Amino acid sequence: MYYGEKVHLRALEMEDLDTVLSGWNNLDLRRHLVTPLPVSRPAERQWLERATMMHPFRDGGIVLAIEDKDSSEFLGTTSLMGIAKQHSRAEFGIAIHRESDRERGYGTDATRVMLWVAFNILGLNSVHLRTLARNERAQRAYEKAGFRFVGRYRDAAFVMGEFQDVVTMDCLKRDFFETLPPGKPVGTT
């Protein structure tokens, strides 16, 4: 497990299926992820089976569960996908499933921990993300964790009946290490 100030990240397990499914099939969450379609139980089971077996360099990704550090309550998932060993980069993703768990610092902390994993465990040099431009709350959390604005794709996503801009951000290892030196953990157990 990897520890932050408020959360810890752990491997996903098949036992997480019902919890993941209930959070994932929530329109309030999905409208921020550009994919507002529901996911069936068989499809989510198949995704979870792949996610639990994924190896970062063999399969190009890693997905971890986010849990409250004190209560071990499941909060959501975070991932590094499209890991390119040659270029030493990956794309970041995160989903805090319940609205009541957002704006409590969990997302920022989980993002910092996943960046720590990317740079200290996987040896990556760059992590980037894409988010809807209207999702300013997420952008603030990403900035607090170490990401910087890179650019904007105009009308790049059709969500909830309208085209929306997509913002791209990135975090470089050298910038992250300025705020959290190599090997120093984000939080303690």
Give me the pLDDT at residue 34, please. Answer: 65
Q: Is the Cβ–Cβ distance between 68 and 75 less than 8 Å?
A: yes
Q: How crowded is residue 127: how many other Cβ atoms within 10 Å of its Cβ?
A: 27
Its pTM surpasses 0.95? no
Could you give the domains of the chain? 2-179 (3.40.630.30)
Give me the pLDDT at residue 116, please. Answer: 97
Measured torsion, CA atoms of residues 7, 126, 56, 25, in degrees rounded to the nearest 10: 50
pLDDT tens-digit profile of 11-63?
Answer: 999 999 999 888 877 777 766 776 777 888 999 999 999 999 999 988 999 99
pLDDT tens-digit profile of 137-180?
Answer: 999 999 999 999 999 999 999 988 899 999 999 999 999 999 99
Q: Phi and psi at residue 69, in whole multiples of 5°?
A: -65, -35
Identify which of 12, 5, 113 has the alpha carbon closest to the alpha carbon of residue 65.
12
